[in-house]
């Protein structure tokens, strides 16, 4: 995964919408996954009161966190979503559309590949769902990622083939097929 991230970071088309990497790493990854549906359900421009995020966590884990801890969790998670481009505003958070670039989709597709998805299924993983984009837009970003050398992308009608050259060693590729 880290080698794949290096490929993504080397790309000139890297962008702020780095959420797949953020969800997959760090202690807040679990909380980000829990908050994903809340964030993606908001319409662009819709206000997200901190209390709604607190409530979302409290519903998942009733009476587990103190009110002060819920407030802190909500602020930290909302800050991460803001940094990734899904929210904007310092104190009052509003839903925005993230700036998704080819490097972002390449990394999301690679994470899906590591989980065993191939072909069209790569566009229907938890990682690509984070972008909240239509399939046509994701396919176009994958095409651009291919032109940038981040992956190999072939698309004809309903058939999609994606490979990730030099992302994994032959031994690591073998592990995926065990």
Write the pLDDT tens digit of every residue in 117-160.
999 999 999 889 888 888 999 999 999 999 999 999 999 988 99
* Same domain, yes or no: 73 and 108: no
Domain-embedded: residue 11: no
* Residue 56 pLDDT level (bands cut at 50, 70, 90): very high
**Domain's final residue, options 47, 68, 95:** 95
Burial 4-41 (b: 16+ CB within 10 A, else e): bbebbeebebbbebbbbbbbbeeebeebbebbbebbee
Task: State what percent of residues in the chain have pLDDT above 90.
Answer: 53
How many domains are there within the chain?
A: 2
Domain that residue 148 falls in: 102-176
Domain-embedded: residue 7: no
Over residues 69-110, the pLDDT tens digits come to 999 999 999 998 998 889 999 989 999 988 889 999 999 999
* Same domain, yes or no: 158 and 109: yes
């Amino acid at each position: 995964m880290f080698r794949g991230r290096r490929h993504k970071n080397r790309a000139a088309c890297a962008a702020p919408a780095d959420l797949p990497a953020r969800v997959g790493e760090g202690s807040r990854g679990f909380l980000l996954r829990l908050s994903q549906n809340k964030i993606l359900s908001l319409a662009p421009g819709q206000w997200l009161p901190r209390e709604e995020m607190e409530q979302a966590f409290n519903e998942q884990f009733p009476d587990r966190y103190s009110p002060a801890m819920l407030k802190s969790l909500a602020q930290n998670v909302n800050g991460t979503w803001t940094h990734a481009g899904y929210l904007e505003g310092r104190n009052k958070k509003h839903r925005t559309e993230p700036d998704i670039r080819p490097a972002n989709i390449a990394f999301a597709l690679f994470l899906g590949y590591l989980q065993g998805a191939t072909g069209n299924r790569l566009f229907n993983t938890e990682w690509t769902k984070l972008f909240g984009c239509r399939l046509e837009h994701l396919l176009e970003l994958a095409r651009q990622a291919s032109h940038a050398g981040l992956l190999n992308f072939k698309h004809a009608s309903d058939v999609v083939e994606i490979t990730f050259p030099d992302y994994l060693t032959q031994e690591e590729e073998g592990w995926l097929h065990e």
